[in-house]
Chain A
Amino acid sequence: MNRQVVVTGIGVISPLESGKGLEVFWQELVAGKNAIKEINSFDAKGYECKIAGEVEDFKDSEADRWIRFLDSAFKQAMEDANIDANAASFGLCVGTVLGGILAGQEAWKNGKQEMPETYSLFSGEHYLTNKYNIKGPVMSISTACASGTDAIGIAYRNILWGKADVMIAGGIDILSEFAFAGFNSLKALTKDRVRPFDKNRDGLAIGEGAAFLVLEEFGTAQKRGAKIYGRISGYASRADANHLTGPDKEGKGLASAMKAALNEAGISRVDYINAHGTGTAYNDAMETKAIKLAFGKSAYNIPVSSIKSMLGHSFGAAGAIEAAACLLAIRDEIIPPTINYQEKDPECDLDYVPNIARKADIKSVISLSAGFGGQNAALLFEMVS
């Protein structure tokens, strides 16, 4: 198996840049800008948490909000890779947790007994497939908060295996009161701000967005002289088999995913870890343990940061947006910070790149995701020299 997979295009819709594109997103991320604000899209009265990372709406069509985000991130990625979506042959992999839940909410609120056309999770896949004549393979995956990471991982494997030469893969989720109420009922929401790995962290904030990567077989990308952000050199997914909503506290599943991804790439350490880092007491402690299990003593020398401190947790989109950040970190040799970090927690004693971005020689990055159902995923990116 000597095929290699490179990333040649990125499209991101996030609360930070709100439709202004990838470079603005990245500049603001590196500047440590907080995108989590008071909620606009629904009335948060009745909830203790009143904040979320919302994308300032841009209306480029009449389609459902989730379809607009999906299409917009998809188009950005294709344009960035300089691929004509209508002419090229490629596959698609979409990761999402709640898909068109807004349409469902709206219908049910009004007492309509229906499943709107854009409700189902795979309606996004069908929308893009029809609009761009995508030949396939096409797949939608839902592995809770690891969906975006797994979608990219699956697409990467499709190319490794020769099932496709080009795959567009990413994740999406939009803010809904449904998800907000769900995480509120699980007592997982912060009262004021997301403080990943900080001693006083008290929960996550919900975000929204979408991101797609264009993955290409290295030779195909080289032949057409494509710009290359980096390559994907390893991916693994592991299940905790522990509890539907709580992670395995020792982080064994996540550690095992990391080890398997490193093993696939044939390396034993990385220059930066892009953490799942939701800001909940459980996740951040578990993740810290998992990193130590996977890297041993060298864990203390690897910078770890969570961009969810700025963006909030956008479920299916999170892993894909984080993958974009990893590739840009490699390109510009800079690590985005973990903001709102103030007090060290004895349980979380790694280098979390507090509050200020850091220049570093970055040749390899691992991106971590974990989610409901005991999902753990690790995706490894390396610089192409």
Chain B
Amino acid sequence: MTEEFVITGIGIVSPADIGKEAFWGSLINCKSGIKEITRFDTRGKKSHLGGEIRGFDLDAVFPDKRFRRAANTSKYCLASAKLAIDDAGLDSSKWDGTKVGLVVAVTHSAINYSREFHAALIKEGPLAASPLLFSDSVLNAPAGNTSIAFHIKGAAHTIVGGIPAGLDAIGYAINIMKMNDLDICLAGGAEEIDSLVFDSYARFGLLSPGDRFQIRPQEEGIKPFGIDRNGFVIGEGACVLVLEKNKTALERSARIYATISSFNTTVNLKTSKSPKIFRAMPVDESIYLSTGANGTAHDSTEAEILKTEFAKSKKPYIGNIKPIIGECFAASSITQAASAAMVLYKAIIPPSTIRHDLTSEMRWGRFNASEENIEVKTAIVSSIGLEGEGSFLVLKRQIG
């Protein structure tokens, strides 16, 4: 018998809100965290919108002075991990850390620390270069800090990738659990907004221009699969999931959000048009589909793939969290997974955030205007990156 793995804890730090219930509330109310950017001056820039986390205070969630000078990417990751561990009813001060693993996905990570370190070096020379900025600028700093904070000794890995990397973290966490015989593995994604990253995407014409004076996120922000979509809005945050062996989760009577049914880590959609995401697509089931479309050209790729996969099935409910949190890169896809797990557990489908005119490839889905209390058994998470790479995850509702 193959071993089953389940999600037992969710921690979210998002522009919409902090904590999974607050985040869920934002989904139910379609309350977007996208606003005008305040962290840097956007005058003269092509876009002005961002999903910023304002006034974030790590101490309020996880008071530990060792991490006060860490980059935001690390802080978001630490807070999400703490929330997820608590949510799972676990205590990291008591667990055997050698039986716990961690995989964090990042895209740009603490590029601001890299730049600050480099700027001091250029301006003032080698003696001014800060060892602290250097060590916290490395891409595995969020995972390193999180492993230190929660005594995680099984393995602490960092995947660096585009938007789908958060789903890869889940797939890889399960690999680590199987190979190393771990009881628990945390999988997460973390990102922070940086002006340089913002400018780079703006230069490529990938950011939704928005409206500097009349911020109406529903109209001006991300329009997934929209016929008049005009780019994405940059976001930030982190999401950490606690993954466990089904057996040990049941033994300790943990709340189980969902079972991980299958995952397909990054495949090149330019060469494999039919990624065979789902082993056997249920035909008569209502499925919740958390899409990763972010208002860019790749939305069509995703729409076409999903259309083919669902050709013979009942119309799935189409969800998309990007209008709520923005494009948080590696953190987005894993937050999608968290939202899908909550849909399965709560048996509630939040109202669709997609309320604009759709591209023709996507007109086959179901876009509910208000929340529906429906018990779906299967949720699918799909995520396509800006290079046309894709990852997919299938979650099942725990029966009984």
Contacts and interface: CB of A to CB of B under 8 A. Distances in A.
A120 interface: yes
B389 interface: yes
Contacts of A96: 160
A280 to B, nearest CB: 14
A176 B122 CA distance: 13
B352 interface: no
B266 interface: yes
B130 interface: yes
Contact of B121 (A136, A178, A186, A237): A178
Contacts of B161: 122, 125, 139-140
Contacts of A256: 98, 153
A114 interface: yes
Interface string B150-182: 111111111111100100100010011001100
A245 B131 contact: yes
B122 A138 contact: no
Contact of A182 (B107, B134, B160, B266): B134
A144 B139 CA distance: 8
A47 B165 CA distance: 38
Given A143-B158, A144-B140, A46 B126 contact: yes
Interface string B44-80: 0000000000000000000000000000000000000
Contacts of B272: 135-136
Contacts of B102: 239
B29 to A, nearest CB: 35
A104 B196 CA distance: 11
Contacts of B160: 96, 99, 120-122, 140-142
A96 B157 CA distance: 13
Nearest to B98: A256
Interface in A133-164: 133-144, 150, 154, 157, 161, 163
A223 B125 CA distance: 58
B363 interface: no
A239 B136 contact: no
A316 to B, nearest CB: 10
B197 A115 contact: yes
Q: Which of B98, B114, B268 has the most CB of A within 10 A?
A: B268
Nearest to A158: B175
Contact of B147 (A142, A182, A374): A374
Q: Which of A136, A240, A372 has the most CB of B within 10 A?
A: A136
A373 interface: yes
A180 B349 CA distance: 52
A372 B197 CA distance: 25
Given A140-B160, A150-B157, A373-B147, A241 B138 contact: no
Contact of A375 (B122, B125, B156, B203): B156
A185 B131 contact: yes
A236 interface: yes
A325 to B, nearest CB: 24
A371 B121 CA distance: 23
A138 B147 contact: no
B135 interface: yes
Interface string B249-287: 000000000000000011110111000000000000000
B156 A244 contact: no
B190 to A, nearest CB: 13
B159 to A, nearest CB: 6
B375 interface: no
A260 interface: yes
A135 B118 contact: no
B38 interface: no
A373 B156 contact: yes
Interface range for B:
35 or more
Q: Which of B114, B115, B130, B197 has the most CB of A within 10 A?
A: B114
Interface string A229-253: 0000000111111111100000001
B139 A142 contact: yes
A48 to B, nearest CB: 9
Contacts of A143: 140, 156-158
B241 interface: no
A201 to B, nearest CB: 20
Interface in A246-283: 253, 256, 260, 264
B129 interface: yes
B35 to A, nearest CB: 22
A297 interface: no
A181 B121 contact: yes
A344 B159 CA distance: 40
A238 B121 contact: no
Given A113-B199, A239-B156, A241-B152, A104 B268 contact: no
A355 interface: no
Nearest to A113: B199
A142 B125 contact: no
Nearest to B197: A115
Contacts of B232: none
B147 A185 contact: no
B107 to A, nearest CB: 8
Given A115-B111, A137-B267, A244 B141 contact: yes
Nearest to A176: B118
Contacts of B98: 238, 256
Q: Which 7 residue pairs of A and B lie closest in terms of their CB atoms, listed nearest first?
A: A373-B144, A182-B134, A239-B156, A136-B267, A115-B200, A185-B131, A142-B139
22 contacts: A109-B122, A115-B111, A120-B107, A121-B160, A122-B162, A129-B387, A133-B270, A133-B271, A136-B266, A139-B266, A140-B159, A141-B157, A141-B159, A178-B121, A185-B126, A237-B155, A239-B144, A240-B147, A245-B135, A372-B140, A373-B140, A375-B156
Given A130-B387, A181-B121, 19 more contacts: A46-B125, A104-B118, A113-B199, A115-B199, A129-B387, A135-B272, A136-B268, A138-B389, A141-B157, A141-B159, A144-B144, A177-B121, A182-B131, A238-B154, A239-B144, A244-B144, A371-B140, A374-B156, A375-B156
Interface of B: 97-98, 102, 107-108, 111, 114-115, 117-119, 121-122, 125-127, 129-131, 134-136, 138-141, 143-145, 147-148, 150-162, 165, 168, 172, 175-176, 179-180, 195-197, 199-200, 203, 265-268, 270-272, 387, 389
